[in-house]
Amino acid sequence: MCFPRSSDEVAAAVGVARRHGRAFVARGSGTGLAGGATPLDDPVVIVTTQMNRVLEIDPQARVAWVEPGVLNLDLSRAVGHLGLHYAPDPSSQQACTIGGNVGTNAGGPHCLADGVTSAHVLAVDVVLADGTATRLGGLEPDSPGYDLRGCFVGSEGTMGIATRIAVRLTPDPPCVATLLCAFDSVEAAATTVSGIIAAGVLPAALEMMDAPITRAVEDFVGAGYPRDAQAVLLAEVDGLEGGVAEQVDAIAEVARANGATLVRVAADDAERALLWKGRKSAFGAIARIAPDYYLHDAVVPRTKLVEVLRRVYEIADAHEVIVMNVFHAGDGNLHPLLVFDQREPGVWDRVHAAGTEILEACLDAGGVLTGEHGVGIEKRDLMPRMFSPDDLDAQARLRDAFDPDGVANPQKVLPRGSRCGELQRVPEGTWI
């Protein structure tokens, strides 16, 4: 394990690993939830947490150059006095790094309108698998040639290591309003999500929590959530004052039409901050229920939220596992939490079985395996469930173009058999 402080030291570490025939894995704060930064088979682990400087801020161009170890929230704090912020805001933003966000193409509550990480990364300086350094992308409006920057963002460390990142900064909106809506059923809340978008409103954020997690959060934070609600929606809109007022009215109308028992607009910034503190403290609040949880990540069409959530509860009941749902409802990015105590005999088998069935239910509904956590090793073997052999082969060939020897974060994302001509495991578990 090594802790470089510069691009040159990253390149040197990669070079040493190559000379000794070792693979390497880049690792930031380790907040990843799909095992993407978990070392397998004793690679050299290159930890970028000490590369944590904001190198340059250009407020006129609204661009910042940062090192990969900069914490997500620290970047927004560094530019806040300029009336700017970094829009992607994962719930782990107090701990996760920009480099890790680039690796998984992370999202967050406020990515519904602004887009996920790839929409905010202009250029990346990269150390490739052979130790050479290059720049992918650029600051100009349209770089010529293939979008290699787009290939790298979300590649989970399998195409090299980011050492400097140019990110787009977003102006703070002149007016913001946050609504809390409560419902007597999960179905009513989920139907409201689709109704808001159908009404022509695209909120900055649209988050949903079911009853168990709402109560846990309220006990933990005291955010002002109704403890008797079966589901709550947290909706935020921003922009010019007149437009914000119209959107607030439209969201309230849709919510009430779907049976909302409460529609409340945060009175001031303090109440807004408290509501968001509750949402972003959800995973920590789980400890009030049980000592362990397994958090999943998949995306389904908004129109399928009701049926998929119903299926999630059925699966959890069948495996005798507690499930709580808190997720980015606006883009259908589900985050079911399977809550348990690992000291209970046999519980891990039930948890893993339930998790796999939930992912399969999302795929059956026309969804995808991940919205922001990445594939890593967690979902690697389900990739053939989503992609055809030709799709997997194309992805493997792209990866080979960056790393022909397969030494950058090996055994991640793509399962064995992705390349044409290799053995591939079919769904029934037999080799062909």
Q: Are residues 25 and 166 in the same domain?
A: yes
Q: How far apart are CA 132 and CA 147, in angstroms?
A: 19
CATH number of the domain bearing residue 97: 3.30.465.10
pLDDT at 382: 96
The 10s digit of each residue's pLDDT in 335-378 is: 999 999 999 999 999 999 999 999 999 999 999 999 999 999 99
Q: How far apart are CA 118 and CA 101, in angstroms?
A: 9
Query: Residue 374 domain-assigned?
Result: no
pLDDT at 116: 96
pLDDT tier at 417, thresholds 50, 70, 90: confident
pLDDT at 421: 61
pLDDT tier at 423, thresholds 50, 70, 90: very low
- Distance between terminal CA atoms of the chain? 38
Query: Residue 379 domain-assigned?
Result: no
Q: Are residues 16 and 158 in the same domain?
A: yes
Q: How far apart are CA 78 and CA 25, in angstroms?
A: 29
Query: Residue 402 domain-assigned?
Result: no
Q: Are residues 164 and 189 in the same domain?
A: no
- Residues sharing a CB contact under 8 Å with residue 71, sequence separation 6 or more, in sequence order: 29, 52, 93, 94, 95, 96, 97, 98
pLDDT at 419: 82
DSSP for 37-57? T---SSPEEEE-TT---EEEE
Q: How far apart are CA 229 and CA 260, in angstroms?
A: 10
400 CB neighbour count, 10 Å cutoff: 12
Hey, which bits of 242-367 come out as E strands?
262-265, 292-295, 298-299, 322-328, 333-334, 336-340
CB 399 within 8 A of CB 129: no
Q: Are residues 320 and 209 in the same domain?
A: no
Query: Residue 376 domain-assigned?
Result: no
Q: Are residues 138 and 11 in the same domain?
A: yes
Query: Residue 111 domain-assigned?
Result: yes
Q: Are residues 164 and 179 in the same domain?
A: no
Query: Residue 216 domain-assigned?
Result: yes
The 10s digit of each residue's pLDDT in 285-306 is: 998 899 999 999 999 999 999 9
Report the domain count for the chain.
3
Q: How far apart are CA 425 and CA 132, in angstroms?
A: 35
Domain boundary among 171, 190, 213: 171
pLDDT tier at 427, thresholds 50, 70, 90: very low
**pTM of the predicted structure, to 2 decimals:** 0.93
The 10s digit of each residue's pLDDT in 211-224 is: 999 999 999 999 99
Task: With a cut of 90, say whether residue 34 has pLDDT above it.
Answer: yes
- Residues sharing a CB contact under 8 Å with residue 202, sequence separation 6 or more, in sequence order: 112, 113
Q: Are residues 209 and 294 in the same domain?
A: no
Q: How far apart are CA 172 and CA 194, in angstroms?
A: 27
Residue 197 φ/ψ region, left for φ over 0, alpha for ψ in the -120 to 50 degree band, beta for the rest: alpha
The 10s digit of each residue's pLDDT in 217-275 is: 999 999 999 999 999 999 999 999 999 999 999 999 999 999 999 999 999 999 999 99
421 in helix, strand or coil?
coil
Mean pLDDT over all residues of the chain? Answer: 95
Query: Residue 381 domain-assigned?
Result: no
Query: Residue 1 domain-assigned?
Result: no
Q: Are residues 11 and 125 in the same domain?
A: yes
pLDDT at 432: 33
Q: How far apart are CA 277 and CA 284, in angstroms?
A: 11
Q: How far apart are CA 228 and CA 90, in angstroms?
A: 28
Q: Are residues 55 and 90 in the same domain?
A: yes
Domain boundary among 226, 255, 284: 284
Q: Are residues 114 and 252 in the same domain?
A: no
The 10s digit of each residue's pLDDT in 65-123 is: 999 999 999 999 999 999 999 999 999 999 999 999 999 999 999 999 999 999 999 99
pLDDT at 67: 98
CATH number of the domain bearing residue 304: 3.30.70.2740
CATH number of the domain bearing residue 189: 3.30.70.2190
Q: Are residues 110 and 238 in the same domain?
A: no
pLDDT at 104: 97
Mean pLDDT on 183-189 = 97
Q: How far apart are CA 182 and CA 244, in angstroms?
A: 21
Domain hosting 72: range is: 7-171
Task: With a cut of 90, say whether residue 141 has pLDDT above it.
Answer: no
Domain boundary among 314, 340, 364: 364
pLDDT at 112: 94
Q: Are residues 219 and 278 in the same domain?
A: yes
Task: With a cut of 50, say whether residue 431 has pLDDT above it.
Answer: no
CA atoms within 13 A on the CB side of 159: 26
